[in-house]
Every structure is written in structure tokens, then in C-alpha cells.
Structure 1
Amino acid sequence: MGAKGSTEEFMRDVDAVVSKILDKIDPIYHPKIRVLRDDLERMHRQNRVKINHSVMELVCAAHLIEAGFDAQLETAVNGISTDVYAEKGLGSLMVEAETGFVPPENALDPLVYLRARAASKIVRYSGYASKFVLATPPYYVLQIPPSLTKPPRFRKEEEIASIKKLCDLYYTNPPVSVEEIRNARLHAIYVVDVDNVSIREWEVNEYMGKASLWST
């Protein structure tokens, strides 16, 4: 579901972020950022985007554009819509933003819900790009099952079964497959500072080591 409120209000916020990005990056990349800005305006008029995700996506896309990628927002790849899809040469990279939002119906099981959500994103999306990245704001600690931080070859059958059971609690239309879980791979985590339009890129196990300090 897309955002409520006027497109003018939405674009006021988008343009504030775009202005910060343009001030920071090489002018050679400005046309690509402006294309993304116009894409967001069009998608908001179609009620397809929300401001909290859109500004994170913009910052991620700018980071990738500076790294030499061509980036698109809210793009369908093999039938699934991804937040940011980027290509460079023969390689591709997919980014999904997670803000930690918990719907009211999951108010009594937020940790399990968020763990399942992160797991399902990694499992469903990572097979469609050379690299898969989760992006999150600094104020949220991603709830990632430890077995999904391993390279696939080190994932045990009982861990695969556990991830399957977790995802099936909330995502059954369609359910994730055992083969998807077996091959899933998370390559990096972006911590997205929208205020300063910057990204800190974390190696997955390093991030998880820091995150473990807040685990229950």
C-alpha cells in the first residue's frame, strides 16, 4: 500500500533529501539522482510508495551510483518488487530496506515477526541478484536468524528446517521453499543515516556481533 497525503508534501520531503545528496556527490551523478527523484514522484501519484522507505531508498541508490552502479527504485525483478536494484557490468545488487515496523496484529510477538520478516526477505530475494543487502536505520537492530549469516555451504539441515518453520508462521502465499533457504545469502548490511544522507556498510558478522549486545 502506498502513502497517504499529497504528492506535494511527499515531494517536499524527497526534494530535501535530494538536495542534500546533490550537495555531497560529484555533479556527474546528478542526472541519475534527478531521474530517481522523478520516478518517486510518478510512483507516489500511483500510490505505490511511502516517504520513510523512499528516502532510505534514495540514500542507498546514491551510494551505489557513486560506486559506479546504475540504480533503480521499486523495480520488479522476476516478478518480485525490490526497493533498490542496481547493476554494474555483469553484476547486480539488490537492497531491501527494513525499518522495524510492527503491525498492530503482531504487537504481542514483535521479535518473532521481525525475525521472520528479515529471514523471508533474505530467502526470497537473494537468489535474484549477484549480491543481496539489507538496509536499516541506525535506530533499529535487524533481527536476523544466525543461520542466515552463514555461507550456504555451512547451513545445516536442521537450521534450514528451523528457518522454514519460522517463515511459514507469517508467509505462506507462497511459502518459501527449502531450496531457497538452502541457497540464501546475505552479503552486507547498510546502516542508513537519512539525516546526513550517508551509509555505513557493515560486513554481516561484524554487524551481528554488535547487534548481539542488544539481543535477549
Structure 2
Amino acid sequence: MGLSEDIDTVVERLGRELDTRARARLEQLGSRLKELALRRVVSSNHTVMELIVASHLLSKGFEVDVEHVLAPDLVCDVYASLNGESLVVEVETGFVPPENSTDPVAYRLARELSKVARYSAYSDYFAMAVPPFHVLQLPYIIFLPPEERARWGIEYFKRLIDVYYKKPPVKLEELLMAKLHYVYVVLVDALKLIELTAREYFVIFVERPAALLWRAGWPLSELPVGGASAELTDLMLRASNGNLRWEDQMRRPLSPLKPGYESSLMLAGFRDL
């Protein structure tokens, strides 16, 4: 099947779980994506993930748009609004272009960090959507409260981004104020997603791999040396426990993943799996 046929199939399957109004809107979004596909503006795997995210948000009562213009030179994948608040979602499939075959992790880190910096300024909440086989290459510093980033080396990552993105460059102020609230792990095969807060995602997917890579000598996950490392570890631990005044920590507490509690998997619609 071609991309247009894939979109029709995905919209039809997702629509079975939506009410009449949400299903009609999803069909409109599918039609828009088919038009963009004919113009070769969107790719197949990226488009299917957009539809899954859009369907999830429609089911929660959001008004949803895809390929939404935020600024003259900036278009986001999914834009949603509810009760006067807005959410921007950017889909990242983990693709690395051939010209970055010798620096794939540095490329992904620069790309993903620059996206958080650029896009999160245009909404109250910002989320990234990824397949389960791609772990976001975000540095520890983006999971810290904005007021802590300057003293923990945000300039290092600014220089890294500058290697890859210069037109336009990402400003230091954008990195200092960047916010990531949620990560959606999208299971395309099942047309479902798992919604995690940024701190849930950090603890589950990033924290231990980053420590392992650091011990192996990978500099992009390196923590400050000496006593500063222990202080930073304590700061991140307190952030993950919700003890800091950090916006995305206050909005939704971590659901304990043990019997008797409703986990993020359940919230994402996996009760019956």
C-alpha cells in the first residue's frame, strides 16, 4: 500500500475507539496529511505516529491540529488545546541522515535538544513522541529545573548545537528556559501510546543508560567531576521525587508501578492487554 492507503487504514482503525465528533476530526486530519503526502512534505512512519498522537489527544477532549504553523519558519507536528492551555508534540523517529553516519548520537542529541528549546516556547506544555526502539538522546541537564541549568554546564550543549544548527541558531536563553513535560512512547503496531511525564521517562529510559555510557567514556553523558557530581545527583533525585518547584513535577505526580496503583500504562489504555 502507498502512504495514502496507510493513512486511510490507520484513521479507520483509530476511529473505532473515538466518539463521533473526535472521529470526524481525525478523518479531517487524515485528509490533510494525505494532501501533504502527495506533495511529499511528510513521510510514512512519521505520519502514522502523528495520527496515533492526535487520536490519543482527541480521545481526551483536546482540539487537535497537525502540521500546525507556530511561526513563519516553524511548523510543529501536533498542536492541541484544552481549557485555554496548549500542547505541542514533536515526533522523533530516530532517523540519522547518511552524512551523520560517523556522529549519530551527537547529531541526535543536538537535534532533539534544539527541538525542545525551539518548540516549547510556543505552548504551555511540550511533549516528544518516539517509538520504543529510539531512546531520546537528551542530556541530563534538560531534566533539571531551568534555574539550575546555567551552573551545570548548559553552555557546553549550546556549543554542540551550534555545530549542527546555525540558521537560525538556538539561543542560550532558549536552552535555559526550554521545557519538556511529557514523552509519548508510540507503539505503532498496536496503534497505542504510553504517556510518561518527563521525569518518568528520564528515570526509566535515560538515567541508567547515561550512567553506563559515562563510565564507558562517552563524553556527552558526562556528569561534573568531584563533589559537584554528588550534588547534581542529589538535585536530580529530588527532582524525580517531586520535591522541587518544577512545573512538570507539580502538574502530575509519578504513579507507582506496583499492584494496587494505576500506572501510566493503564492511563494509556493498556488495562485489557
Question: Which residue of the other structure, out of 117, 122, 126, is the alignment partner of 1:128?
Answer: 122
Q: Is the CA contact (8 Å cut-off) linking 1:150 and 1:185 kept in structure 2? A: no
Name stretches of at least 5 consecutive residues in structure 1 with no aligned partner: 1-7
Match of residue 15 from structure 2: 22
Match of residue 183 from structure 2: 189
Which AA in structure 2 matches 1:32?
Answer: R
Shift in Å, 1:158: 4.8
Match of residue 31 from structure 2: 38
Question: Which residue of the other structure, out of 141, 144, 148, is the alignment partner of 2:142?
Answer: 148
Counterparts of 2:60 and 2:97, CA distance in 1: 35
Match of residue 71 from structure 2: 78
Which AA in structure 2 matches 1:53?
Answer: H
Which AA in structure 2 matches 1:12?
Answer: E
Greater alpha carbon shift after TM alignment, 160-169 vs 22-31:
22-31
Identity %: 39
Counterparts of 2:96 and 2:195, CA distance in 1: 25
Shift in Å, 1:127: 0.3
Helix, strand or coil for the counterpart of 2:185?
Answer: strand
Shift in Å, 1:151: 2.3
CA-atom RMSD in angstroms: 1.4
Shift in Å, 1:157: 4.0
Larger Rg: 2
Counterparts of 2:119 and 2:9, CA distance in 1: 30
Q: When the two structures are superposed, what TM-score results if normalisation uses the length of structure 1?
A: 0.92
Match of residue 58 from structure 2: 65
Which AA in structure 2 matches 1:138?
Answer: P
Q: Is the CA contact (8 Å cut-off) linking 2:65 and 2:78 kept in structure 1? A: yes
Shift in Å, 1:27: 3.1
Counterparts of 1:135 and 1:166, CA distance in 2: 23
Which AA in structure 1 matches 2:149?
Answer: R
**1:159-188 deviation per Cα after TM superposition (whole angstroms, max 9, x unaligned):** 221221121110011110111111110011
Match of residue 199 from structure 1: 193
Which AA in structure 1 matches 2:20?
Answer: P
Q: Is the CA contact (8 Å cut-off) linking 2:67 and 2:77 kept in structure 1? A: yes
Please say if 1:164 is aligned against 2:155. no
Q: Is the CA contact (8 Å cut-off) linking 2:141 and 2:152 kept in structure 1? A: no
Counterparts of 1:9 and 1:164, CA distance in 2: 40
**1:129-170 deviation per Cα after TM superposition (whole angstroms, max 9, x unaligned):** 110101100111111111111221222245221221121110
Counterparts of 1:159 and 1:201, CA distance in 2: 29
Please say if 1:53 is aligned against 2:53. no
Shift in Å, 1:45: 2.1
Name stretches of at least 5 consecutive residues in structure 2 with no aligned partner: 214-273
